[in-house]
Amino acid sequence: MNGKELLRRYAAGERDFSGVDLKGANLSGVSVNFDVGAYDEPYRQGITSDLSGINLSGADLTQANLRGVNLEGANLSNAKLTCTNLNQSKLTNTDLSGANLTEAWLECAELDGTNMRGANLFRAEIRVSDAFSPDLTGAKNVDTVNFTGGIIHLTLEDRTVIDTTENDW
């Protein structure tokens, strides 16, 4: 399946795309070089596609473009998100448990209430402008993540909360 087919089927009301192969797909709905900052709502806030509530559990989204996609309340558990662009995406209350986020980009992504339990975060780039508190219980390779930006509170497996602004990651 390609990105256009998924977007068409989602618009028709389908929500369960668990296990699909979307390697390299563009789900942002726009060109990779599109300047979202140059347009009015909804582009002004960077949101280019609405896939809220979608089920992409176990999907392969390796190197996919999800920049500016609204994935609020989506299920991306156990998804392959290696080298995936999630910049400016809305991931509020999204399930990323067990997901492989190796070298994924999450610059300016909204991560409030995001479940990242057991996710592989090897060399992921997480840059935020606001405080957020994702659940990273059991997350792997947290020490390799490039956390920059606002105040980031991490909840570790033993329920310890770490403020990354006070640590040298």
pLDDT tens for each residue of the chain, 169 residues long: 888 888 889 889 999 999 999 999 988 865 444 444 444 444 434 557 889 999 999 999 999 999 989 999 999 999 999 999 999 899 999 999 999 999 999 988 888 889 999 999 999 998 765 556 677 888 899 888 887 765 455 655 566 655 555 544 4
Closest CA to 66 of 7, 11, 120: 7
The CA–CA distances, whole Å, from 58 to 4, 30, 102, 153 equal 19, 24, 15, 27
Closest CA to 110 of 54, 150, 167, 53: 150
Put residue 164 in one of left, alpha, beta given phi > 0 → left and psi -120 to 50 → alpha: alpha
Q: 56-66, pLDDT tens digit by residue?
A: 999 999 999 99
* 119 in Cβ contact with 97 (< 8 Å): yes
